[in-house]
Structure 1
Amino acid sequence: MRLSNRNKASVYNFINTVLMMMVVLGILGFLANEYRFNVLESESYLLIIIPVLMLILFHLNGRQIFEYDSDGEALNFKNRNIIPFLNKPLHDEFPKYKLIKYDIISIFFIKRLYITVSSKTNGSTMLKYQISYLTQKEVNDLKLSLNKVVKANKEKKD
C-alpha cells in the first residue's frame, strides 16, 4: 500500500507564505504605529506576537510531507518539511519482518508515529515520524496496513 500527502505540498507552501507575509506586515504595522500613528499603544505588540506564534505553531506541528510504501518485501517511510533547510528529512527502509510494533500518539492537533524495529545490535530501535498533516482517513489506512504487517510477523514467530 502506498500513502502520500506530497500532492498537498503546494497548500502547505501557500500557508507558510501567508504566515510569513503576516509576520512582515505585522512588523511594518508595529513600526508604523510606534513611529507615526501611535493608535494602538501597548497592543501594537500583538501585531508581531500573533503572526509569529501562528508561524511557530505551523512548524512545531511537524514535518508536513509523509510518504509510506509497503509494496514488496520492505517498508519505506519518508518524512520531510516543505522548507528543505528547516529540518533534516527522514528516510527509512527496512524489511517487513523487522517490524515489531507501532504506536500512533495524538495530542490535540499533533500526531506522531512511533515504529519499533528489531535490530541486531541493541535488540530494537524506535523510529519517530510526524504525521500531523495526514487526514484521519490516511491515518486509518496507515494503521490498517501496519496492523497487517505486525499480525503477519506474529504469525510467523508462533
Structure 2
Amino acid sequence: MRLSNRNRTPFYSFIYSIVGIIFILGIIAYVLEINKFDVFGDKAWILLLLPFLLFIILYMLGRPIFEYDSDGEALNFRNNHILYILNKKNAKDEFPKYKLLKFNIVNLLIFRKLYIYISSKKSNVVILKYDLSYLSRKEVKDLKFSLNKVVKANQETRQKDNMVKD
C-alpha cells in the first residue's frame, strides 16, 4: 500500500507563507506601535503574541509531508518539511517488514505522532518517530490497517518459528 500527501504541498506552502506574512506584519505593527502610535499602551506585546503562537503551532505540528510504502519486502517511511529552515529533522527510513514489532499512534488534540518499534541486530528495540498531523482520518485509518497487517503476519511467523524450535 502506498500513502502520500505530497500533492498537498502547495497548500501547506500557502499556509506557511500566510503565517510568515502575519509574523512580519506583527513585528512591523509592534515597532510602529512602540515608536509612533501608542494605541495599546503597555499591552503592545499582544501584537507579537498572535503571530508567535501561530508559528509555534505550525512548528509543533511537525513535518507536513508524509509518505509510506509497504509494497514489496520492505517498509518505506518518509517525513519531510517544506521549509528549508526547519528541515533538519527530515526522516527517511527503510527496513524489512519482518523487523516491525509494533507501532503506536498518539493523538493529542490536533497533533498526531506515529511511533514504530523495530528490532535491531543486537536484539534492541529502535523507536522511529513520524509526524502524522497533516494526514486525514481516512489516511491514518488506512495506515493503521496496513501496519496491523504487517504486525500480525510477523507475529504469526514468530509463533511458527517458536513451534518449530520446540
The alignment's TM-score, normalised by the length of structure 1, stands at 0.95
Counterpart in the other structure of 1:32: 32
**Pairs within 5 Å for 1:8-157:** 8-86=8-86, 87-157=88-158
Could you tell me how far apart the structure 2 residues matched to 1:131 and 1:71 are?
20
Runs of at least 4 residues of structure 1 off by over 4 A?
none
Q: How many residue pairs were aligned?
A: 158
State the alpha-carbon separation in 2 of the partners of residues 35 and 104 from structure 1: 49
Q: Which runs of 5+ in 1 are unaligned?
A: none
Q: Once the 2 structures are TM-superposed, how far is the Cα of residue 34 of structure 1 from its aligned partner?
A: 1.6
CA distance in 1, matches of 2:147, 2:107: 17
1:51-78 deviation per Cα after TM superposition (whole angstroms, max 9, x unaligned):
0111111111111111000001100000
- Helix, strand or coil for the counterpart of 2:62? coil
- Structure 1 distance, partners of 2:41, 2:151, is 60
Distance 2:105 2:129 in 1: 10
**Deviation (angstroms), 1:122:** 4.0
Q: Output the amino acid matched with 2:110.
A: F
Distance 1:125 1:77 in 2: 15
**C-alpha RMSD over aligned residues:** 1.1
